[in-house]
Amino acid sequence: MNTSARKKAHDNLSDQQHKNIAFFSTRSYEHALFSELLETLNGASDKTINATFFEHPLNASTAASCSGFSDVVVFVNDDINRKTIEALKLCGVKHIALRCAGFNNVDVDAAAKAGITVSRVPAYSPETVAEHTIALILTLNRKTHKAYNRVREGNFNLGGLMGFTLHGKTVGVIGTGKIGQAVIRILLGFGCHVLCFDPHPNNDVTTMGAHYVTLNELLEKSVIVTLHCPLNEQSHHIINAKSIDKMPQGVMLINTSRGGLVDDNAIIKGLKSKKIGYLGLDVYERESELFFNDHSQDIIQDDIFQRLTTFPNVLITGHQGFFTLEALEEIAKITVNNIMTGENAL
60-90 per-residue burial string, b: 16 or more CB within 10 A, e: under 16 = bebbebbeebbbbbbbbbbbbeeebbebbbe
Within a 10 A sphere around the Cβ of 263, how many other Cβ atoms?
20
In the list 102, 313, 318, 324, the residue contacting ligand NAI (rule: CB under 6 A) is 102
Q: What is the DSSP string of 215-278?
A: HHHHHHH-SEEEE-S--STTTTTSBSHHHHHHSPTTEEEEE-S-GGGB-HHHHHHHHHTTSEEE
Q: Is 198 in the site for ligand NAI (CB under 6 A)?
A: yes
Nearer of residues 70 and 243 to ligand NAI, judged by Cβ = 243
x/- map, 11-30, ligand NAI, by CB under 6 A: --------------------
Tell me the torsion sign for CA atoms 322, 327, 332, 337. Answer: negative
Q: Is 99 in the site for ligand NAI (CB under 6 A)?
A: no
- Of 33-41, 60-68, 230-238, 331-339, which segment contacts ligand NAI by CB under 6 A? 230-238
Tell me the closest approach of the beta carbon of residue 256 to ligand NAI, in angstroms: 4
Contact present, 95 and 116 (Cβ < 8 Å): yes
Closest CA to 56 of 327, 293, 331: 293
Contact present, 30 and 332 (Cβ < 8 Å): yes
In the list 226, 235, 243, 338, the residue contacting ligand NAI (rule: CB under 6 A) is 235
In the list 30, 107, 127, 282, the residue contacting ligand NAI (rule: CB under 6 A) is 282
Q: Is 228 in the site for ligand NAI (CB under 6 A)?
A: yes
Contact present, 343 and 116 (Cβ < 8 Å): no
Length of the chain measured in residues: 346
Catalytic residue flag (residue 56)? no
Nearer of residues 280 and 321 to ligand NAI, judged by Cβ = 321
Q: Is 101 in the site for ligand NAI (CB under 6 A)?
A: yes
Catalytic residue flag (residue 193)? no
Catalytic residue flag (residue 258)? yes
- Of 6-14, 25-33, 171-179, 291-299, which segment contacts ligand NAI by CB under 6 A? 171-179
Determine what percent of the chain falls in helix, strand and coil, rounding each to the nearest 5: 40, 15, 40
Looking only at residues 103 through 162 of this chain, which bind ligand NAI when binding is defined by CB under 6 A?
123, 126, 129
Residues belonging to the active site: 258, 287, 319
Question: Which residues are at the interface with ligand NAI (CB under 6 A)?
Answer: 101-102, 123, 126, 129, 174-180, 197-200, 228-231, 234-235, 238, 256-258, 282-283, 319, 321-322
